[in-house]
Amino acid sequence: MSTLCQPPSSPELFVDSWKVRTDEHPAERCAEIWQEALQQVYLAVSPRSGGEPLHGEVTYNISPQGIEFVTLSGSAQRLVGQGPQQSESLWLALAIAGEAHLQIGEREARLGTGEILYGATGGDQVALELRSDFLLLTLEIPHALFYKRLLNPLSIRAGTLSGQSGVSRLLANLLTGVAQELGNLDATAFHPVELALTELLIHALSEQAAINTFRVPGHAEHFREICRCIELHLGDPELDLAMVAEQCHASGRYVQKIFNEAGLGFSQYLRRRRLEKCRRDMSSQLNARLSISEICMRWGFTNLAYFSRSFTSEYGIGPRAYRAKQRSRQDPA
């Protein structure tokens, strides 16, 4: 990675904040610098057609409780989420200025004013088509802030919080204010922001029918441990309910009960996690040399035909067609 895109070397800023601006670098390097900066906040970029030079600015701050705040501004472009290899954090995105259209899997829609896009890392693949100069705020929120409040990030599919809801509207206004004042907030000032943010977000998400909560506090922790065990063994084709129960020192019936409380089936969850890993690998240029069969076997599938049927059922498109579509987006020429 180019040193031009590394976070500042100042010890007091290295961990907590950094900024990258393309206009501080030679024009011929702007696209490279921007791509590298976005990789640090788990995004990939595709400039829009037309040949206009791409420019942008990204600012990163992390709060004392580990909430990552990122503001992005720049010219029209397409941003694609490339979440970290963990599945226990929540992310939010709010388009403060500019025209934004979102894509969740194969579903496309305009991101309206005041609407908040949300999801869980390791979940649905989401893209934002920014069709004009824009200002965007994104957040990544550690799972610990939600398991303590019985919100289950691992059952969350990507969606939007409508700006018509009173609580969601308050949350959007708070996020807009945070984006404007981010550079002026120190550790002390972040504390009330964190409290207000988590309270409003938990309330807003709890209004969504698709969001599951645990009635018993200990079950949320057990569910997290079980899911972590599954993540560690996803590539093992022998992974099943009995193995997970043994690894977690629990009975198979109890594991099934925890998944039922989360609104999920064990087999459904295991299959979805494996499919998502395969889809992520097929979307990455780093895995271009790997065949589809190699990728699916890497994540525990032993039958290519079964994998293909499962993938098509989950995403509405076959694995070969999906991979070809991703490659055409990455290399329009």
Domain borders along the chain are: 3-206, 218-330
Beta-carbon count within 10 A of 156 CB = 20
pLDDT at 157 over 70: yes
pLDDT at 207 over 80: no
Of 206, 192, 213, the C-alpha closest to 65 is 192
Average pLDDT score over the chain: 81
- Residue 13: the pLDDT is 31
- Residue 235: the pLDDT is 94
pLDDT at 4 over 70: no
What pTM does this model have? Answer: 0.60
Which amino acid is residue 268, in one-letter code?
Q
pLDDT at 6 over 50: no
Of 289, 279, 271, 266, the C-alpha closest to 317 is 279
Q: What are 123-153's pLDDT values in tens digits?
A: 777 899 999 999 999 998 876 666 444 455 5
Work out the pLDDT band at 211, boundaries 50, 70, 90.
Answer: low
The CATH code belonging to domain 3-206 is 2.60.120.10
Please give the Cα distance from 205 to 215 (Å, whole number).
Answer: 16
- Residue 106: the pLDDT is 76
The CATH code belonging to domain 218-330 is 1.10.10.60
Q: What are 237-290's pLDDT values in tens digits?
A: 999 999 999 999 999 999 999 888 877 789 988 998 899 889 878 877 778 899
Q: What are 77-115's pLDDT values in tens digits?
A: 999 887 655 446 788 999 999 999 988 877 888 988 888
What integer is the mean pLDDT of 35-39? 89
Token pair for residue 206?
Answer: 């709890």
